[in-house]
């Protein structure tokens, strides 16, 4: 099976996206540039955050693009992998923390049964 669910991003796709909504496209590009500009956090750190978030949102395009950008900004493979592990822990931690909802519902159900 050689087909992928995710088609490659191409310059033609980027041009079509821009053509269909040029104002919004420009606003998004400006927003993105502003977000990743050095500020209180350096761009390298912001790219590491983006890699972690991309893993949680499961965006293959974001994973690829921000991993490459992080490397260009000096992030080591070890830093990238640690960022990915932070994302994994946070994702798992969310499930763990939300067990409170199920436990409360079980408590309510147990009360209703009595």
The CATH number covering residue 50 comes to 1.20.1290.10
Q: Name residues whose C-beta falls within 8 Å of residue 35's C-beta, 6 or more positions apart in sequence.
A: 46
Within-domain flag for 32: no
Within-domain flag for 63: yes
- Confidence (pLDDT) at 34: 98
The tens digit of pLDDT for each residue in 45-96 reads 999 999 999 999 999 999 999 999 999 999 999 999 999 999 999 999 999 9
Q: How many domains does the chain have?
A: 1
- Confidence (pLDDT) at 4: 80
Within-domain flag for 5: no
Query: Residue 109 — very low, low, confident or very high, per pLDDT cuts 50/70/90?
Result: low
Query: Residue by residue, what is the 3-state secondary structure of 35-102?
Result: HHCCCCCCHHHHHHHHHHHHHHHCCHHHHHHHHHHHHHCCCCHHHHHHHHHHHHHHHHHHHHHHHHHH
pLDDT of residue 110 exceeding 80: no
Within-domain flag for 59: yes
- Confidence (pLDDT) at 114: 65
CA distance linking residue 49 with residue 44, whole number of Å? 9
Supply the range of the domain harboring residue 74.
39-113
The tens digit of pLDDT for each residue in 97-107 reads 999 999 999 99
92, 84 in Cβ contact below 8 A? Answer: no
């Amino acid at each position: 099976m050689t087909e992928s669910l995710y088609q490659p991003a191409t310059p033609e796709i980027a041009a079509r996206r821009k053509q269909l909504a040029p104002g919004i496209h420009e606003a998004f590009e400006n927003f993105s540039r502003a977000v990743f500009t050095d500020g209180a956090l350096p761009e390298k750190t912001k790219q590491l955050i983006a890699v972690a978030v991309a893993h949680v949102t499961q965006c293959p395009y974001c994973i690829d693009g921000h991993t490459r950008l992080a490397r260009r900004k000096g992030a080591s493979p070890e830093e990238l992998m640690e960022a990915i592990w932070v994302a994994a822990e946070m994702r798992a931690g969310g499930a763990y923390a939300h067990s409170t909802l199920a436990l409360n519902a079980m408590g309510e159900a147990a009360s209703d049964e009595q």
